[in-house]
Amino acid sequence: MGDLICNNYPMLFVMSRFGIPPGFGNKTIEQVCRQNHVHTSTFLAVVNLLIAGEQTSFNNLSLSCLVNYLHNSHSHFLDIRLPTIRKKLLKTLKTPLDSVGKAVLRFYDQYVEQVQTHMAYEEETVFPYVQSLLQGKQSGQYCIEIFSRQHDNIEAKLSDLKNILIKYYPTGNPHELNNVLFDIFACAQDLASHNYVEDNLFVPLITQWEQKDPDKRCGERPPAKEIVSEKEIVSDTLRAADTGELSKREKEVLTEIAKGYTNKEIADRLFISVHTVMTHRKNIMHKLKIHSLSGLTIYALLNNLVDPNQII
């Protein structure tokens, strides 16, 4: 176990989320898992998936152990990781907070709310469904395919925050800014790993459980809470390299976007078509590599394209 952690330090998070504390001496992985009542094959399945991308046979895995791991992961992000980043971010921003600082903090808080909603759905809908499977009670109105179809990459929006802080946010204390940036990068990677485990281990394992019932039919049931789809915020078609400065017209469109106007309202105000507004909007996102409304608003504030009092 010691060699595993020393050679792959991110596995510290995996170890802690399985409830394994440090101080295990020279014990093997199997000995440490057994000592801490952790299912060894499930622990190794997560480790091998994250280190080498290797999927294992699902026959010898413990679904209850994996659910406990995912639940502990949620607690780590919501109770420790994300609040810690907010404290560091608040320390990095200029005090007293100006309009840009407030916008950055609001952007982060909105992101955390989306993560909370994402994980609350899993805690309140998916995990209870899994418990019913373990108890032999299958509901014909729900299946893991519903979860899989709407499962988003919750780390994606952090890319906007990283780009804003790295490219556009001036600070008198680069050391503190770099510190919080490192934490944001690490958190985004950790969230991506969390999603990877859910998509490539959790979902296939539940699918296998569902197949034990030949009469199982997957019906549509609305989620316990409305999920804010990250795909609505970040479009894969907009992931492009920086293509240069904004044109005069693009700056005009961005100003109206930051003020909170819809595409139709912007078209009317600038005497252009809605299609033209949408094209400009796509080009703006291409060039700035910022894909959310909050991120674009922060950029507009930083570059004096809009007055804080004009923001709706």
In angstroms, the CA 83 to CA 52 distance is 30
308, amino acid identity: P
Average pLDDT for 28-45:
96
Task: Determine if residue 170 is left, alpha or beta; phi over 0 gives left, psi from -120 to 50 gives alpha, anything else beta.
Answer: beta
- What integer is the mean pLDDT of 208-232? 54
Tell whether 192 is covered by a domain: yes
Confidence at residue 243, expressed as pLDDT on a 0 to 100 scale:
44
Element (H, E) at 193: helix 174-197
Residue 62 covered by a domain: no
> Considering 228, 247, 266, which residue would you say is the last residue of a domain?
228
What pLDDT, on a 0 to 100 scale, did the predictor assign at position 159?
A: 83
pLDDT at 229 over 50: no
Q: Give domain status of residue 294, yes or no.
A: yes
One domain for residues 86 and 189: yes
- Judged against a pLDDT cut of 50, whether residue 144 lies above it is answered with yes
Query: Mean pLDDT throughout 24-41?
Result: 95
Quickly state the pLDDT bin for 150 (edges 50, 70, 90): confident
**Lookup: tokens for 287:** 């060039």
Same domain membership, residue 113 and residue 169: yes
The percent of residues above 90 in pLDDT, for the chain, comes to 49
Of 32-36, 54-58, 219-223, the poorest mean pLDDT is in 219-223
Residue 126's pLDDT is what? 93
Count of domains observed in the chain: 3
Q: What is the mean pLDDT of the chain?
A: 85
The yes-or-no verdict on residue 306 having pLDDT over 70 is: yes
Distance CA 151, CA 214 (A): 25
Residues 87 and 184 in one domain: yes
Most confidently predicted of 192-201, 208-217, 295-304: 192-201
Ranges 41-50, 172-181, 223-232, most confident = 41-50
Residue 60's pLDDT is 87
Q: Which residue range forms the structural domain that includes residue 186?
A: 72-228
Two structure tokens written together for 300: 């507009």
Helix/strand/coil (H/E/C) assignment for every residue in 103-143: HHHHHHHHHHHHHHHHHHHHHHHHHHHHHHHHCCCCCCCCC
Tokens 């992000």, residue located:
77
Closest by CA position to 270, among listed 242, 235, 259: 259
Q: Do both 15 and 120 map to the same domain? A: no
Statement to judge: residues 177 and 93 lie in one domain: yes
CB burial of 185-221 (b: ≥16 within 10 Å; e: otherwise) equals eebbebbebbbbbbebbbbebbeebbeeeeeeeeeee
- Distance separating alpha carbons of residues 9 and 23, to the nearest angstrom: 15
Category of 202 on φ-ψ map: left (φ > 0), alpha (ψ -120 to 50) or beta: alpha
Query: pLDDT-based confidence at 308, cuts 50/70/90?
Result: confident
Lowest mean pLDDT among 90-94, 155-159, 259-263: 155-159
Q: Tell me the pLDDT tens digit for each residue of 69-127.
A: 999 999 999 999 999 999 999 988 877 888 888 888 989 999 999 999 999 999 999 99
Whether 96 and 186 share a structural domain: yes
pLDDT at 64: 95
Domain-ending residue, one of 228, 249, 266: 228
78 with 210, same domain?
yes
Inter-residue contact 217 to 139 (CB < 8 Å): no
Instruction: Quickly tell me which residue has 């930051």 as its tokens.
Output: 258
Q: Clarify whether residues 188 and 247 are in a common domain.
A: no
Of the chain, the end-to-end C-alpha distance in Å amounts to 54
Cβ-based neighbours of 81, under 8 Å, separated by 6 or more? 187, 190
Residues 220 and 96 in one domain: yes
Do 221 and 261 fall within a single domain? no
Give the range with max mean pLDDT: 8-12, 51-55, 76-80, 264-268: 76-80
Q: Give the pLDDT mean for 214-243.
A: 42
pLDDT at 227: 37
**Measured between alpha carbons, how far is 182 from 175 in angstroms, rounded to an integer?**
11
> Which one has a higher pLDDT value, 56 or 6?
6
Q: Are 80 and 16 in a shared domain?
A: no
170 and 94 housed in the same domain: yes
HEC profile for 284-299?
HHHHHCCCCHHHHHHH
- Work out the pLDDT band at 216, boundaries 50, 70, 90: low
Burial 157-172 (b: 16+ CB within 10 A, else e): bbbbbebbbeebbeee
